[in-house]
Amino acid sequence: MATSRLEHITIIGVGLLGGSVALAVKALDAEVRIAGVGRRRVSLDKALDVGAIDTAHLDAAEVGHRSDLVILATPVGAFAKHLRTIAPLLKPKAIVTDVGSTKSMVVRQAAGILGRSGRFVGSHPMAGSERKGVAFARADLFGGATCILTPTSSTPPSVTRRLKRFWSQLGMTVRQMTPGAHDKAMARISHFPHVLAGLLMLLPDKADLEVAATGFRDTTRLASGDPEMWRDILLTNRKAILAGIDAFDEQLMHLRDLLIRADAPGVEKFLTAAKRRRDATVAKLLPDLSTSE
């Protein structure tokens, strides 16, 4: 059992992801004590009501010394503040991780605050929703999804193994990447698509939106994500996202040229290449989508 050696977990930020981690742990091992840390008492009370946490705290200093595992689940811009709070309190063998979508800056911050002992390992469970808050948390949110770990050369293998076991027991397939490789990949498959959804949402006139249908709804779904969380993601991974914008601009200008020339074979070739790549990717990596479409 993943939680067999974890008697106490602190989750800082008990929203959708933090709350889902808590519910998943409780479903696996109800004996684990989980402390929730948040900014607002009302949100923590909701987490208590749904059974995600056992105790609620407005300050991580109240519980940081008890925990075998501390999980940062706030917007990434708040990580440094929380790391500084818990740094002097952590038990010698406690592990700190996160559920954030960017890693290079987070890993550097953690090393600077906690030291390079390897007690912090970045985690990115790739599951979630555009919805926000613990009211939408689910114990089965992570089942069948991928979690990326980003250990560094200073991370003890035993720490990586413990975290891999933790996420695996929550139903996830665990992969390892360097923080830099993670951020480059996320810029292309997650972060820039969110930017694009926002741009598409702001493009139409008000009258256009009155006749929008399911295609527009599905294409712009990501634009409903939490602006505070996504602000921090874009700013902490801006170098990789800017590279993605430049690459996209080249593709967009290529399509523009095809349309200017009314190049029917070229347009069809463009659309066919995109369709084939998506179909192959969905069939291989996302079979549930393949069977539902």
pLDDT at residue 293 in the model: 36
3-state secondary structure of 33: strand
Instruction: Round to whole Å and give the CA distance between 241 and 196.
Output: 11
Pairing of strands 146-150, 122-125: antiparallel
Q: What single-letter DSSP state applies at residue 194?
A: H
Instruction: Round to whole Å and give the CA distance between 165 and 174.
Output: 9
Contact, 101 vs 123, CB < 8 A? no
pLDDT in single tens digits along all 293 residues of the chain: 444 478 999 999 999 999 999 999 999 999 999 999 999 999 999 999 999 999 999 999 999 899 999 999 999 999 999 999 999 999 989 999 999 999 999 999 999 999 877 899 999 999 877 678 898 999 999 999 999 999 999 999 999 999 999 999 999 999 999 999 999 999 999 999 999 999 999 999 999 999 999 999 999 999 998 898 899 999 999 999 999 999 999 999 999 999 999 999 999 999 999 999 999 988 877 655 443 33
pLDDT at residue 288 in the model: 56
Contact, 98 vs 28, CB < 8 A? no
CATH class of 182-292: mainly alpha
pLDDT at residue 232 in the model: 92
Contact, 111 vs 138, CB < 8 A? no
Instruction: Give the other-Cβ count within 10 Å of 243's Cβ.
Output: 14
Q: What are phi and psi of 203, to 5 degrees?
A: -75, -45
3-state secondary structure of 72: strand
Instruction: Round to whole Å and give the CA distance between 199 and 213.
Output: 17
pLDDT at residue 273 in the model: 96
Retrieve residue 76's tokens.
Answer: 């990434």
Same CATH fold assignment for domains 8-177 and 182-292: no
Q: Count Cβ atoms within 10 A of the Cβ of residue 185 and give its class: 0-12 exposed, 13-18 middle, 19 or more buried.
A: middle
Give the DSSP per-residue string, 227-241: HHHHHHHHHHTHHHH
Q: What's the gap between Cα 257 and its chain centre?
A: 36
Q: Write down the domain spans for the chain.
A: 8-177, 182-292
Instruction: Round to whole Å and give the CA distance between 87 and 69.
Output: 13
Instruction: Round to whole Å and give the CA distance between 118 and 96.
Output: 9
**Widest CA span of the chain, in angstroms?**
67
CATH 3.10.310.10 fits 8-177, yes or no: no
